């Protein structure tokens, strides 16, 4: 009972238990039908019990589970009571009830996370307990990069289930980059016909001499996207799509060469990029490019409705790592600077981002981008993903912008987890499970009013060196469990956090991850098949900047 992750706000233990039997029923009150359906489905699979739908229990003794709304609670707040009357989960909204149902699943033990019973004769019991719980942050996210290495639809649905199990509620879906375009746009079919695959792939860091000479590719059809968004919404997860502009765009330029700076380079000869790093080939800052991406975004807005889940009005437009060398050399770009009365190329990028800020706002949506979008000024409604440390987030919050804190030094999960030689393709700083657990999303220098601008936090999973689901699992877990507690629980200051207690709770949580089939990094280090001997990485020596 004390091994729950993320840790609840209040747990008061009782002295008995509720036994689930073949006669137990699940009672879903008005507004909780979705959570009831989900709970019956997963518990039927794991326990083999029928868990039929039933009416509200009215007896003093009970072996059932009741779900109901309580208007006195917050939207994601819940109260779980297990006593002689059975199990009652009350939430301020449907999301709160669903989150309470996730806690109930943990209370039933690791085997409750399996898809079929492992022992037909085992007893299923919920300890008598009262749990009151609510999240610290509204935005509790995972950024999943499917552009560098494509994750098939089934893998994305699996990650949505893993997010729900950890009470995360925002999938930041990185769909386009230099190395691949992953979303079908019917108006521009070449984006996927040409832009969704590359002829070969660099293995390891870009300085590595190794190549995988097999073509790599894949994309989501529009119905795939609709399914992903609907599946997420059923789990009270919002999906925020990212269409990266004006940098990280070679896959789009390879499909439609007129999008690039064709007066500087031969854009018709470009292919989807097969290596890693910051790409010099960026979008041409022209009206034609704007019209093209308006067409893209019109379809994106239809596929990602504003009411589909938490933070669904947001659309991420990237805005990071856009080298300006081609713009400096381009007569077209220089004329645009003059025509617009801009100071320089940095102001030109600000104009580009500002155009889509206004375009999205006119359609009732909100722009969010990486912290480079602050350069040159930003419209009041836009939000910022602070990745280059905390500075961008501090600047944004002080300027009145909402912020998602995801500094690379703290929560980039492609970064290595240990300094040992067995760590596969070591990238960046060492970021251990404890480092993530001690991450604090709200900078201490912010005032109370400024701190309220921090919507929350997310972990970022960049997949340059993650070629398949097993590698994504290894880099993401168990550190995502630590991030989930940082995002959900009201923890003390980083130095005062009980990491030893968290490790003890992780002992049980590893068994849950085992039941879910997650190929996490064991606490003792990588298993032999998780290593990548001889593949060059990009380790950064020394400790990362900390607060």
Sign of the alpha-carbon torsion through 515, 521, 526, 528: positive
Q: Is 290 exposed, middle or buried (CB count within 10 Å of its CB: 0-12, 13-18, 19+)?
A: middle
What tokens appear for 201 in the block?
């792939």
Output phi, psi for 198, to 5 deg.
-125, 155
Of 377, 291, 284, which is closest to residue 334 (Cα–Cα)? 284
Among the options 227, 299, 320, 321, which is catalytic? 321
Total count of residues recorded for the chain: 547
Among the options 63, 177, 372, 414, which is catalytic? 177
- Judge whether 297 and 360 are in contact, CB under 8 Å: yes
- Judge whether 14 and 130 are in contact, CB under 8 Å: yes
Within 10 angstroms of residue 320's Cβ, the number of other Cβ atoms is 17
Sign of the alpha-carbon torsion through 347, 350, 356, 362: negative
Of 482, 397, 401, 476, which is closest to residue 440 (Cα–Cα)? 482
C-alpha dist (Å) from residue 452 to 137, 273, 456 = 10, 40, 10
C-alpha dist (Å) from residue 146 to 180, 284, 454 = 8, 25, 26
321 is catalytic: yes
Sign of the alpha-carbon torsion through 345, 350, 351, 352: positive
Sign of the alpha-carbon torsion through 109, 111, 117, 119: negative
b or e along 51-80 (b: 16 or more beta carbons within 10 Å of the residue's beta carbon)?
A: beeeeebeeeebbbbbbbbbeebeebbbbb
In 180-286, where does DSSP find H-type helix?
190-193, 222-234, 250-255
Within 10 angstroms of residue 402's Cβ, the number of other Cβ atoms is 22
Stated as kind and residue range, the H or E segment containing 25 is strand 25-28
Spatial distance between the Cα atoms of 111 and 32, rounded to a whole number of angstroms:
25
Among the options 128, 248, 316, 509, which is catalytic? 248
C-alpha dist (Å) from residue 27 to 48, 89, 392 = 18, 10, 47
Q: Torsion-angle region of residue 318: left (phi > 0), alpha (psi -120 to 50) or beta? A: left
What tokens appear for 28 in the block?
């879903």
Cα 455 from chain centre: 14
| SS3 of residue 282 by DSSP | coil
| SS3 of residue 61 by DSSP | coil
The catalytic residue positions are 177, 248, 321
């Amino acid at each position: 009972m004390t091994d729950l992750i993320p840790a609840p706000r209040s747990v008061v233990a009782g002295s008995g238990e509720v036994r689930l039997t073949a006669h137990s029923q699940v009672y879903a009150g008005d507004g909780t039908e979705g959570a009831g359906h989900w709970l019956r489905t997963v518990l039927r699979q794991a326990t083999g019990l029928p868990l039929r739908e039933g009416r509200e229990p009215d007896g003093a003794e009970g072996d059932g589970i009741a779900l109901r709304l309580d208007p006195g609670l917050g939207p994601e707040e819940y109260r779980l009571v297990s006593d002689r009357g059975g199990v009652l989960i009350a939430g301020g909204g449907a999301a709160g009830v669903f989150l309470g149902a996730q806690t109930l699943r943990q209370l039933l033990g690791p085997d409750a996370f399996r898809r079929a019973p492992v022992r037909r004769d085992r007893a299923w019991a919920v300890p008598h307990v009262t749990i009151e719980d609510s999240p610290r942050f509204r935005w509790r996210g995972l950024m999943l990069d499917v552009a560098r290495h494509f994750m098939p639809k089934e893998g994305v649905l699996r990650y949505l289930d893993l997010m729900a199990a950890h009470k995360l509620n925002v999938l930041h879906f990185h769909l386009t980059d230099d190395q691949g375009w992953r979303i079908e746009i019917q108006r521009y079919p070449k984006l996927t016909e040409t832009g969704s695959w590359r002829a070969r792939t660099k293995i390891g860091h870009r300085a590595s001499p190794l190549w995988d000479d097999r073509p790599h590719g894949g994309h989501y059809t529009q119905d795939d996207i609709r399914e992903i968004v609907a599946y997420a919404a059923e789990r009270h997860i919002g999906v925020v799509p990212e269409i990266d502009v004006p940098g990280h765009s070679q896959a789009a330029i390879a499909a439609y060469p007129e999008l690039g700076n064709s007066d500087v380079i031969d854009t018709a000869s470009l292919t989807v990029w097969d290596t890693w790093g910051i790409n010099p080939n960026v979008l041409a800052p022209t009206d034609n490019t704007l019209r093209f991406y308006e067409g893209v975004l019109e379809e994106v807005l239809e596929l990602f409705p504003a009411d589909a889940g938490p933070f669904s009005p947001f659309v991420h437009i990237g805005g990071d790592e856009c080298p300006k060398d081609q713009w400096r050399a381009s007569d077209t770009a220089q004329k645009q600077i003059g025509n617009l009365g801009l100071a320089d190329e940095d102001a030109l990028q600000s104009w580009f981002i500002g155009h889509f800020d206004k375009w999205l706002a006119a359609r009732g949506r909100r722009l969010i981008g990486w912290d480079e979008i602050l350069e040159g000024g930003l419209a009041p409604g836009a939000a910022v993903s602070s990745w280059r440390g905390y500075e961008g987030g501090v600047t944004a919050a002080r300027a009145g912008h909402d912020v998602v804190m995801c500094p690379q030094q703290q929560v980039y999960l492609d970064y290595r987890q240990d300094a040992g030689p067995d760590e596969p393709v070591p990238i960046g700083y060492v970021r251990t499970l404890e480092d993530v657990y001690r991450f604090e999303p709200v900078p201490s220098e912010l005032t109370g009013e400024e701190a309220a601008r921090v919507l929350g936090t997310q972990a970022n999973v960049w997949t340059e060196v993650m070629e398949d689901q097993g590698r994504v699992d290894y880099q993401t877990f168990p550190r995502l469990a630590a991030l989930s507690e940082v995002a959900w629980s009201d923890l003390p200051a980083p130095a005062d956090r009980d990491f030893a207690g968290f490790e003890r709770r992780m002992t049980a949580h590893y068994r849950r991850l085992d039941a879910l089939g997650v190929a996490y990094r064991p606490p003792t280090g990588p298993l032999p098949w998780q290593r990548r001997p001889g593949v060059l990485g990009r380790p950064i020596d020394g400790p990362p900047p900390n607060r």
